[in-house]
Amino acid sequence: MNVLLTGSAGFIGSHIGEALAAAGHRVRGLDLRPGALGGPAADVRDAAAVARRLDGVDAVCHQAAKVGLGVDVSDLPAYTSANVQGTAVLLAEMARAGVGVLVLASSMVVYGEGAYTCGRHGPVRPGPRPEEALRAGRFEPACPACGLALDPAAVGEDTPPDPRNVYADTKLAQEHLAASWARATGGTVTALRYHNVYGPRMPRDTPYAGVAALFRSRLEDGRAPLVFEDGGQRRDFVHVRDVARANVLALERAAAGPPPTGPGGVDASCGGTRAYNIASGEPRTVGDMAAALSAAFGGPAPHVTGGYRLGDVRHIVARPDRARRELGFCAAVAFADGMEEFARRRVTSS
């Protein structure tokens, strides 16, 4: 299969390119950085450049994006330009070129807060945590109906989206744009909702980096990782090589035919795309991850600051059952092994 890989020089994209080549596929890169998979520098917002790269392509794996929570509202234009406009240009050119298979890098951030259960009201979706509660150190969301403490649970792909920051808004917009493209063209869209991806080649020293890279950067400088809130935030940390393998499986499954239908079939939330949680299925707290990384690195123990960021969610973990059942995907890199490897390797500059 001939695959156009956008974001091919990036953290996740570079691993996907290697995994696709190892599986026998021919990969063509598109990235702002020159030399990605042998191609010239190109912007996914440049329709002419995209059209040239799509010539002779069977499928597209779309990884190009501006990631992270950003700094403040001044980032709004940059996020919408890179993520929304870039995706719109890509889809329009795919339609013109007759390319009908898309695997889209989405994210668990589209869910907002994870799933919760109230002992009195059953399943509930808490709203954004008020700043006065965070300032007072009350980090756990409360039941919106009665104010009681909630029990966190795992989200499935049918969980209604509830984005809480600009990055999440743009990732959900990508899913909706892709769904519109699929309805108009008869194309196939597979949205892979990555959970917290970590591993070699993570960018460092930037507010847009993942938390694992931020912790690793401090350890490299001989400083303790700074853990926000009380460190009890639950996440699912999935290794980048597992994410790359999930993309290969998704492309091969999509090329074989349309996504499954029937019970739990096409996601209404995605307007016609098929979404998959790409996660390990073994949630950890942010404090656990910081401690594991510090121990593997042999550096100072994490420092729990009690600080917070508006727009962060407390708990978000996933059920990866659909990806296992339909794509044959199951995370293979154990948490301890992945953290040990990550501690041994320097992260790259951004």
Position of tokens 């090589």? 241
User: Residues 132, 13: one domain?
Assistant: no
Cβ 243 vs Cβ 18: under 8 Å: no
Range of the domain at 126: 115-149
Query: How much is the pTM?
Result: 0.92
User: Residues 42, 124: one domain?
Assistant: no
> Is residue 349, in this structure, part of any structural domain at all?
no
Helix (H) or strand (E) holding 18: helix 11-22
How far is the C-alpha of 109 from the C-alpha of 103, rounded, in Å?
18
* pLDDT value for 350: 38
> Is residue 297, in this structure, part of any structural domain at all?
yes
* pLDDT value for 22: 98
User: Residues 83, 171: one domain?
Assistant: yes
Task: Look at residues 54, 160, 164 and name the one whose alpha carbon lies nearest to residue 115.
Answer: 160
User: Residues 271, 291: one domain?
Assistant: yes
* pLDDT value for 283: 93
Cβ 156 vs Cβ 322: under 8 Å: yes
How far is the C-alpha of 212 from the C-alpha of 111, rounded, in Å?
21
Q: What is the DSSP string of 84-102?
A: IIHHHHHHHHHHHHT--EE
User: Residues 119, 249: one domain?
Assistant: no
Mean pLDDT by 10 residues, the chain (350 residues): 96 97 97 81 97 97 87 86 98 98 96 94 92 96 94 94 92 97 96 95 69 90 95 96 98 81 47 86 95 93 94 91 97 95 63
User: Residues 38, 182: one domain?
Assistant: yes
Cβ 219 vs Cβ 303: under 8 Å: no
- Name the domain boundary from 149, 169, 199: 149
> Is residue 228, in this structure, part of any structural domain at all?
yes
User: Residues 16, 124: one domain?
Assistant: no
CATH of the domain at 81: 3.40.50.720
